[in-house]
Structure formats: structure tokens, C-alpha cells
Amino acid sequence: MNDEERENVSSQWEFILLGFSDQPHLEMLLFMVFLVLYILNLVGNLAIIMVLWLDPSLHTPMYFFLSNLSFLDLCYTTSIIPQMLVNFQSTHKSITWAGCVAQLYISLSLGCTECLLLVVMAYDRYVAICQPLRYMTIMSRRLCRQMVGTVWLSGFGNSIVQTILTVQLPRCGRNRVNHFFCEMPALIRLACIDTSANEAEAFAVSVIFLLVPLGLILVSYGYIVSAVMRIGSAKGRLKAFNTCTSHLAVVSLFYGTAIFMYLQPPSSYSQDQGKMASLFYGIIAPVLNSLIYTLRNKEVHRALRRLLGRLFCCKKT
């Protein structure tokens, strides 16, 4: 078997993730930056999950949804960053075909799930502020579990279709992905046939999972703002708004970059812009989410301090 034949066989079973290989002098710096970000993400989201499950005062619908968001962010970054770190230290920046498909499926699933989970969290805030007396009745434990289960099933179910449609495109031996992980727009660009139908289908799904959820979130906050403005005291209005600021910040971070990434045909945007957008919502945003909820949410902040206090007291004794 000659070199060309070996390359053709290799292209069928692996992908080359170009990532930031055009800037090799920065790879060690990028390795350290992404390693630190990943550690911060692990520590931040694991701390939130631990605190929310161990502190009985936080066993409420809002924090149940937050624990799901933290777990989701943890899984999302874990599906991307370890492979990136390996490739930074390797001259052959490859990923197996199966690994690429798994990465595509998991990242798509978790992205779609987060779109829907943020809607559920907005609905929770709507009920809490607009119908406070009926909050615990409406947001029962059973309903919360049903909504979260539906969100996860919808995200992973939709991703099956998207993944199959993407990986079955003929590539004619192309396997060099100009990205740092296997993302749908980057893989569609490898196809050696007209991908207009795939791009149209991906755009339609993006509208369903991005614009429709964002519209529902905006409607929820429209009702919330209306209800808050009817509160007589300025202190009461500020307290009500404070319960929503963390969620609004997360929504802005996630939807802003995701809409930029997916609501345009893969053939029409700069690949460097696409990589930066993915870098932000796939890696930086999850880290910021954990910081937002630990630093801005006073209840989580206090619960975390109580937990750390108990841990240090146990060590001393």
C-alpha cells in the first residue's frame, strides 16, 4: 500500500482537527489557558452541584434546575476540552471517526438541552414572581422532574437526527476539520456535494431550538417586568430583579454566541469567527456560568461558605 492509499484509508477512520495549528508558537500558552479554564469549570460546577444537593435550604425548584445546568455545563466542556489538550501536545492532531461522531452527538445534544433548560428556568422565575402564592403548588417536584426529563430527551433525540444527517455526507477523502472539535458547521464544510438541503434543515432546527426558546424567555421576562413594576417598594422591586439577574446573564452569554454560530449557513461565515464563537459558548461561557451563580447568588454564596466552614471544622477536629 502506497502513501496515497494509506492517506485515503486514514481519512475514512479519523479526522485531523486543525484548531489553532496555524499558530504553533501559541500552543503551549493555549494549553495552559484551556487547562486552567477546564479546572475552573470542574471546580465551579462541581461545587454548585455539591452545595445544592447537600444544603436542604436549597432544595427548591430554582436550584434543582440550576444543578441540572451545572451538570450540563460540566459534561459539555468535558466532551471538548480533554481532546483539545491532547492535540495541543501532539504533532498529529487527530480524532478517530467514532470519537468525532461521539463528540458531535454529545455537544449537539447538550447544546439543544441547554436551550430548552434555560426556558424552563425562565418559566420558574415567571411563576415565582407573577404567582408567588401558588409557586410551590404549580412547581411541584413531579412537574419539575417531568420538565427536566422532557428537556434532556428532546435535546438528545434531536441530536440523533442532526448527527446522522451530518456524518453521512460524502467527504471524498476530506478529513481536515478547520476547528478545535467536531462541530456540525465545520463538518458540513467537508462535504464534496451540494449541502444546501442540510444547511436549510440545520437552519430550521436552529430556529426551533434557538429563536423559539429565546422568544419564550423574552415573553416570560415581559410578564416578570410588568409584575415587578407593580411592587410598591423600591427594595421589593430590587429583590425581585436580583432573583433574575443571574439567569439573564447566562441567557445573554449563551444565546448571543449560539445564534451567531448557527443562524447562518456554514458556507457564509468566517471559520475563524466560527471557532471564536464556539470557543466562547462552549468553553468560556460554562466557566462564567458557575462564577455568575456563585458570586451573584447570595443564597448559593452563603451555602458554599457554610459547607466550606463545616469541612474545615471537621478537619480541625
- Answer yes or no: is pLDDT of 95 > 80: yes
pTM above 0.75, yes or no: yes
Residue recorded with cell 410578564: 223
The pLDDT value given to residue 2: 41
Rounded to whole angstroms, how far apart are CA atoms 277 and 180?
Answer: 12
Q: Per-residue pLDDT for 23 more than 80?
A: no
Domain that holds residue 177: 3-316
pLDDT in tens, 131-179: 988 999 999 999 999 999 999 999 999 999 999 999 888 888 788 888 8
What does the pLDDT look like over 235-256, one tens digit per residue? Answer: 777 877 777 888 888 888 888 7
DSSP annotation of 24: G
Mean pLDDT of all residues in 120-124: 94
Kindly tell me if the per-residue pLDDT of 277 is higher than 80: no
Residue 9: pLDDT band (50, 70, 90) is very low
**Amino acid 18: pLDDT:** 81
- The CA distance from 261 to 253, in Å, is 13
Residue 120 pLDDT exceeds 90: yes
More reliable by pLDDT, 269 or 235: 235
What average pLDDT score do residues 6-29 get? 70
C-alpha span between 162 and 175 (Å, rounded): 19
Domain count, the chain: 1
Contact 174, 11 (CB under 8 A): yes
96: β partners: 14
Please report which confidence band the pLDDT of residue 313 belongs to, taking 50, 70 and 90 as the band edges: low
Contact 73, 286 (CB under 8 A): yes
CA–CA dist 62, 180 (Å, integer): 34
Band of residue 7 on the pLDDT scale cut at 50, 70, 90: very low
pLDDT tens per residue across span 45-76: 888 888 888 888 888 898 899 999 999 999 99
| CATH assignment of the domain containing 61 | 1.20.1070.10
Closest to 107 measured CA to CA, from 310, 283, 289, 287: 283
Residue with cell 459534561: 75
Lowest-confidence range among 101-105, 210-214, 271-275? 271-275
- Most confident residue range from 42-51, 87-96, 113-122, 257-266: 113-122
- Residue 221, classed as helix, strand or coil, is helix
